[in-house]
Chain A
Amino acid sequence: MNSERHNCQLELRGAGGEEKNTTLIHFTSACTAASLCPPLSLLLCFRTTTTTKIKKKKMSQQTVNGVPSRGKVLTLDNMNPNVKRVEYAVRGPIVQRAVQIEKELKEGVKKPFSEVIKANIGDAHAMGQKPITFLRQVLALCSYPELLEDNKFPEDAKKRAKRILQACGGHSIGAYSASQGIECVRQDVARYIEKRDGGISSNPDNIYLSTGASDAIVTMLKLLVCGEGRDRTGVMISIPQYPLYSAALADLGAVQVSYYLDEDKCWSLDVAELRRSLNAARQHCNPRVLCIINPGNPTGQVQSRQCIEDVIRFAKEEHLFLMADEVYQDNVYAEGCKFHSFKKVLFEMGPEYSSTVEMASFHSTSKCYMGECGFRGGYMEIINMDPEVKAQLTKLVSVRLCPPVPGQALLDLVVNPPQPDEPSYTTFMKERTVVLADLAEKARLTEQIFNKVPGITCNPVQGAMYTFPRITLSQKAIDKAKEEGQVPDMFYCMKLLEEEGICLVPGSGFGQREGTFHFRMTILPPTEKLKVVLHKISEFHLRFTQEFS
């Protein structure tokens, strides 16, 4: 009886373990997961019933280390199996170790470094970027409206605050908003999109404010998932990808369909690869969605207008719902690169496309020049969505009542910043420009320094906030990693953390072609600090290469 329970555990671990392997296996794991899932879950429930009964009978007889113990109601064996499959490397084991080391440093434990630098996440303020004054003034005014009497605050900040407060129930940001978001904020978002897209109209009814972009992405994926077995919804995501996608798909029990970005062509997207991946996936699931991150995370590429057009044509031809993650839309640094929104390109392709292709586009207050991650502000615009489905979406978001109102207020300021004739305009523009110019410089600096190191090759960081360089790891290092039960790039990053106090995320957390290794590093640290980080990594890499040659 007990061994039956063991079997079940083993099989589960088996399924999870496969997913931990890299790249191509990531893709095959989708097939295995899809084909394994139904029988596995059947097996699971069968075993769960038996174990429940057994547990009830043998409750007091079970022992752990000689102490009689009663099994918990909720254990690893009988919890939601989808949740177990979720992985999120950006805050995974390496970050947990980084937090531990920070604690050790504080307790006076001696380390070869004096501070931990968390370059694992795009967290601008944590890296010392200063908030935009105007945004914070308005937020302070909204939080404590008595300050509206204070003549220290500029008139345009007061005006914005009054407008936001008037749109809040009881003139307080403490009231719930409409579930879709405050109406006037949605209007401002629509106007912002129209301006950005050269006049293409945007309907505030198609704007849903969200708790960061993550929330909206998960909500859209949730709507799209249905079917079982070979009819289960498949979702195409890039490899490398931002692991929110793989995590959400695991959680929802959808099938991950991986398409590879071309590292040799600066991480560009190729329609032939999309087609290959789609056709392969059609053998075992029902692919219905194509997700694009532009500018790319973790890969930093900026898609050309032509490429976007090709993707839209592909989506139409193959009957796919498009999800465009455009949270880095202001973060474009490379000369000759420009951000093109999917919406704009879609509408420029004419009514054949603009009145049929279903799309959702996502934006956030967390990135760009604002970097206001903590406020969890964001929105999505939906295009060509079936009205019945839209009603379901509205119902679904209403269960969570509303996105955080301070985040909604902040988003309003992002889409409706100070205008040239307003008192805060000059300061606002100065602050904004400084942040973006700094980022552009750091993007160049990172690429330059890494490409000087033998064994590191780095594509230009055209946009977004990260570099995703490829690292060469010797067979000896790979063997050593295996010995320690780690994927090679995790072994590399863990060693870097222990020796230099620098926290990166291994490429395996994002997916990569089999046999290649990478890490993601944010370019956000202040320039002087970034230089130190880059040099420390370079030195570490040389040392590591020597040690395992």
Chain B
Amino acid sequence: MSATRMQLLSPRNVLLLSQGRNELFAGCSGARVCSLTSHPLSSSPGRALSSLSATRRGLPKEKMSENGVSSRAKVLTIDTMNPTVKKVEYAVRGPIVQRAVELERELSEGIKKPFAEVIKANIGDAHAMGQQPITFFRQVLALCSYPELLNDSTFPEDAKSRARRILQSCGGNSMGSYSASQGIDSVRQDVARYIERRDGGVPCDPDNIYLTTGASDGIVTMLKLLVCGEGATRTGVMISIPQYPLYSAALAELGAVQINYYLNEEKCWSMDISELQRALDEARRHCNPRALCIINPGNPTGQVQSRQCIEDVIRFAAKERLFLMADEVYQDNVYADGCQFHSFKKVLFEMGPEYSNTVELVSFHSTSKCYMGECGFRGGYMEIINMDNEVKAQLTKLVSVRLCPPVPGQALMDLVVNPPQPGEPSYENFIKERTATLSALAEKAKLTEQVLNTVQGISCNPVQGAMYSFPRITISAKAVKEATDKGQQPDMFYCMKMLEETGICLVPGSGFGQKDGTYHFRMTILPPTDKLKILLNKVKEFHQKFTQQYT
């Protein structure tokens, strides 16, 4: 009997099963997304089997010999760890970034390189790129951290009154106490008022606001709620390709099925309902699609969705009974003429009660992007709309296990949604700083598009919003072959070479997903204008050299 059980439940079989699922999925989705199939293959069935006999059921196994040395297998090995964790991939901090960190260390140790510094353009980390924090925010945070400063006359009165208000809603008037699990009451009220203002008066209930540890935390929590079923009834989640890899990573970890819909690169990465329909219909054959994720403005693709497109998406979600997840963390980052940010919530409510009373929607925001760029504080919120009351109670319970989001991040979130008002002493300076950041970003978005499009073999859509450019690069067959010989994705090969030769750290398009046979990279537009110019020229020179080398 135990032998039967072994056969049925051995890690090897689980492994094979999961591979089977991926292959099935890859076959169905039309184009292959490399992030899905690579990991399970890396541990061979033979290896899994040997470790099975070694560690199964925890029985002590003393005399295994490895290269003649007697050793006892670890409790936790690559073969006996959580298989879904192994499938997780997160390119934004993947191997290329690890190599960049290594290079930095080598430089600091005096090793000669063809460059003097590593420029990490792999991530939207504004302050690391030299963007200055908004003075008002940091004044209030200093006051909240060390309330003795409230007696200091150098701080403006509006900063003090904000700090007092935040402290009064903290237990013991200290940011060091736990907050309610859903977040501080007064902060959630301020978030609700902010959303109402943003959406032209569409009402918002603070009870529907959950503060989070960055937007990532909210997104993973929501996906976790949605996942159920096994096999063909397993929850499927629709995500765009290219996508922000938090989504694919979370789905892999949760064992949910990733359903890819492709953005149209030729039409400025726009979203097309017929493509959504195609992806959905194919997915219905092997899983139970229940959620549709949208990133607007787009990451990594920088497009800003039109109002019409959002309406179409909402209609599609209503018709196909999908839970909508709107990732709107770049809502202030809109640069292109004629583009405007429309929140899914606002459009939903403008479509009338038939939609606004039924479509289940959650929208995410964060303190990390926009003009603030305060990534380190891990502040964020989500608003849930039309969520079933019993499910909402479960959500509240689930977030309570982690006690509360970091309180300094909550305080910061409060300031973002309740900034200085006209007539307050900090107003002018705040607006000046905010405008300077956003207009510099707009300029850099244009600059990036312009410079990259002058390079033969690089084509780049306008960066309408967000913080990244995702240009398409032509990689010759010769280069593709060399990459394949090295066991690397062609765009990883390209980016790795660029890193070694120029010190510029980008993320290969394969980390976000792209149509088969196309290659891209993601680069943030955040470096200061002068540095960005140098960076773009280096990329240009590298591309020309690379093209020449592999013709």
Check if B149 is an interface residue, CB within 8 A of chain A: yes
* A223 touching B321 in the complex, CB below 8 Å, given contacts A172-B376, A174-B376, A399-B88: no
- A-B complex: 7 closest residue pairs judged by Cβ atoms: A169-B128, A126-B171, A405-B376, A374-B407, A144-B142, A140-B146, A172-B127
A155 in contact (CB, < 8 A): no
Q: Residues 34-60 of chain A: 1 if any B CB is under 8 Å from the residue's CB, otherwise 0? A: 000000011011101100100110000
Residues of A within 8 A of B75 (CB): 288-289, 319-321, 358
Q: Is the C-beta of B57 less than 8 angstroms from some C-beta in chain A?
A: yes
Chain A residue at minimum C-beta to C-beta distance from B105? A183
Interface segment out of the listed B210-218, B455-463, B543-551: B210-218
A1 within 8 A of B: no
Chain B residues whose C-beta falls within 8 Å of the C-beta of A90 in the assembled complex? 400
| A-B contact list, 20 entries, CB within 8 Å | A48-B288, A72-B387, A75-B390, A83-B224, A143-B141, A147-B149, A152-B152, A174-B127, A174-B374, A175-B125, A214-B401, A228-B14, A229-B9, A231-B56, A244-B401, A318-B60, A371-B176, A374-B178, A404-B213, A406-B409
Return the contact of B229 from the options A48, A128, A175, A384 (Cβ within 8 A): A48
Among the stretches B77-85, B190-198, B496-504, B530-538, the one at the interface with A is B77-85
Q: Among the listed stretches A129-137, A475-483, A511-519, which one makes contact with chain B, having 4 or more residues with CB under 8 Å of it? A: A129-137
Q: Are B93 and A401 in contact (CB under 8 A)?
A: yes
Interface-located stretch among A301-309, A389-397, A497-505: A389-397
Q: Are B377 and A174 in contact (CB under 8 A)?
A: yes
Tell me the bound Cα distance from A361 to B246 in angstroms: 28
1/0 contact string of B150-188 vs chain A (CB within 8 Å): 001010000000000000001110111111110000000
B-side contacts of A321, CB under 8 Å: 75-76
- Decide if B442 is an interface residue (CB 8 Å cutoff): no
If the complex has contacts A74-B387, A79-B394, are A175 and B128 also in contact, measured as CB distance less than 8 A? yes
- Given known A44-B228, A72-B360, A244-B401, contact A375–B77 (CB-CB < 8 A): no
Q: Distance (Å) between the CB of B325 and the closest chain A CB?
A: 11
CA distance A374 to B403 in the complex (A): 9
Bound together, the chains give a CA A271 to CA B184 distance in angstroms of: 44
For A384, what are the chain B residues with a Cβ–Cβ distance below 8 Å?
Answer: 74
**Nearest Cβ on chain B to A449's Cβ, whole angstroms:** 24
CB neighbours (8 Å) of B408 from chain A are 143, 374-375, 404, 406-407
Assembled-state Cα–Cα distance A326/B217 (Å)? 26
Question: Which residue on chain A has the smallest CB distance to residue B360?
Answer: A73
Instruction: Return the contact of A356 from the options B72, B83, B85, B290 (Cβ within 8 A).
Output: B72
Q: Looking at the complex, which of B129-137, B199-207, B274-282, B486-494 is the stretch in contact with chain A?
A: B129-137
* Given A287-B58, A398-B90, A392 and B77 contact (CB-CB distance below 8 Å): no
Contacting residues, chain A, for B365 (C-beta < 8 A): none
Neighbouring B residues of A92 by C-beta, 8 Å: 397, 400
**What separation, in Å, do the CA atoms of A370 and B145 have in the docked complex?**
14
| B347 CB-CB contact with A under 8 Å | no
- Does B259 have its Cβ within 8 Å of any Cβ on chain A? no
Give 1 or 0 for each of B374-393: 1 = CB within 8 Å of chain A CB. Answer: 11111000000011101100
Task: Among B76, B141, B177, B321, point to the contact of A56 (Cβ < 8 A).
Answer: B321
Whether the pair B177, A319 counts as a contact (CB closer than 8 A) is no
Cβ–Cβ contact A211 & B378, under 8 A: yes
B213 touches A211 (CB 8 A): yes
> Is residue B273 within 8 Å, beta carbon to beta carbon, of the partner chain?
no
Given A230-B5, A374-B406, A170 and B171 touching (CB < 8 A)? Answer: no
Chain A residue with the shortest CB-CB distance to B86? A392
Within A355-414, the residues touching B (CB, 8 Å) are 356, 358, 370-376, 384-386, 388-389, 392, 395-396, 398-407
Q: Using a CB–CB distance below 8 Å, which chain A residues touch chain B?
A: 41-42, 44-46, 48-49, 52, 55-56, 70, 72-76, 78-81, 83-84, 86-88, 90-92, 99, 121, 123-129, 131, 136-137, 139-141, 143-144, 147, 150, 152, 168-170, 172-179, 211-212, 214-215, 218, 222-231, 244, 247-248, 251, 282, 286-289, 317-321, 356, 358, 370-376, 384-386, 388-389, 392, 395-396, 398-407
Distance between Cα atoms of A318 and B142 in the complex (Å) = 51
- Please name all residues of chain B whose beta carbon is closer than 8 Å to the beta carbon of A70 when the two chains form the complex: 358
Nearest B-chain residue to A360, judged by Cβ: B76
Residues of B within 8 A of A152 (CB): 152
Complex alpha-carbon distance, A231 and B11, angstroms: 9
Binding site for A on B (CB under 8 A): 5, 8-11, 14, 55-60, 72, 74-78, 80-83, 85-86, 88-90, 92-94, 101, 123, 125-131, 133, 138-139, 141-143, 145-146, 149, 152, 154, 170-172, 174-181, 213-214, 216-217, 220, 224-234, 246, 249-250, 253, 288, 290-291, 321-323, 358, 360, 372-378, 386-388, 390-391, 394, 397-398, 400-409
Shortest A462–chain B CB gap in Å is 24
Contacts of B94 in A (CB 8 A): 395, 398
- Asked whether, in the complex, the Cβ of B228 is within 8 Å of the Cβ of A358, the reply is no
- Do B90 and A389 touch across chains, with their CB atoms under 8 A apart? no
A404 touches B227 (CB 8 A): no
**8 Å CB contact of B60 from A72, A317, A373:** A317
CB nearest to B128 among chain A residues:
A169
List A contacts of B177 (CB < 8 A).
123-126, 373-374
CA distance A172 to B225 in the complex (A): 35
| Residue pair A91, B78 in contact (C-beta under 8 Å) | no
Q: Are A173 and B377 in contact (CB under 8 A)?
A: yes
> How long is the Cα–Cα vector from A91 to B400 in the complex, in angstroms?
6
Chain A residues with CB under 8 Å of B92's CB are 398
Cβ of B431 to closest chain A Cβ, rounded Å: 19
Closest to A99 in B: B180
CA distance A193 to B291 in the complex (A): 46
- Residues of A with C-beta under 8 A to B403: 91, 212, 214, 373, 376
> For the complex, what is the distance from the CA of A46 to the CA of B231, rounded to whole Å?
10
A143-B138, A321-B75, A374-B177 known; A80 vs B227 contact (CB < 8 Å) = yes
Tell whether, in the assembled complex, residue B78 and residue A129 are in contact, meaning their CB atoms are under 8 Å apart.
no
Q: Are A392 and B81 in contact (CB under 8 A)?
A: yes
Q: Compute how far the CA of A389 lies from the CA of B386 in the bound complex, rounded to whole angstroms.
A: 41
A41 to B249 Cα, complex, angstroms: 24
Question: A79-B225, A317-B60, A389-B76 given as contacts; is B394 within 8 A of A375 (CB)?
Answer: no
Given A139-B146, A376-B406, A227-B11 contact (CB < 8 Å): yes
How many angstroms between the C-alpha atoms of A127 and B174 in the bound complex? 10
Instruction: Judge whether A74 and B388 touch: CB under 8 Å.
Output: yes
- B461 → chain A, closest Cβ, in Å? 26
In the complex, what residues of A have CB within 8 A of residue B321's CB? 55-56, 73
Best-buried of A52, A55, A99 by chain B (most CB within 10 Å): A52
For B90, what are the chain A residues with a Cβ–Cβ distance below 8 Å?
Answer: 395, 398-399
Chain A residues closer than 8 Å to B387, beta-carbon distance: 72, 74
Q: How far is the CB of A185 from chain B (nearest CB, A)?
A: 12
Chain B residue numbers with a CB within 8 Å of A91 are 181, 400-401, 403
Complex CA distance for A541 and B466, rounded to whole angstroms:
60
Contact pick for A88, options B125, B176, B224, B400, CB 8 Å: B400
Query: Taking the nearest CB of chain A, how far is it from the CB of B216, in angstroms?
Result: 6
B377–A406 contact, CB under 8 A?
yes
Nearest A residue to B411 by beta-carbon distance? A374
A74 touches B391 (CB 8 A): yes
Contact between chains at A320 and B58 (CB < 8 Å): yes
Q: Which of A128, A141, A288 contacts B58 (CB 8 A)?
A: A288
- Asked whether B58 lies within 8 Å of A223 as measured between CB atoms, the reply is no
Distance from B128 Cβ to chain A, minimum over Cβ atoms (Å): 3
Partner of A75 from the list B170, B176, B376, B388 (CB cut-off 8 Å) is: B388
A170 touches B130 (CB 8 A): yes
Is there an interface contact between B172 and A128, defined as CB atoms closer than 8 Å?
A: yes
Asked if A374 meets B174 with Cβ closer than 8 Å, knowing A48-B288, A244-B401, the reply is yes
Rounded to whole angstroms, the CA-CA distance of A425 and B416 in the bound complex is 37
Q: Which of B76, B83, B125, B170 has the most CB atoms of chain A within a 10 A radius of its CB?
A: B76
Given contacts A223-B81, A374-B177, contact A144 B406 (CB under 8 A): no
Residues in B with CB closer than 8 Å to A139 are 145-146
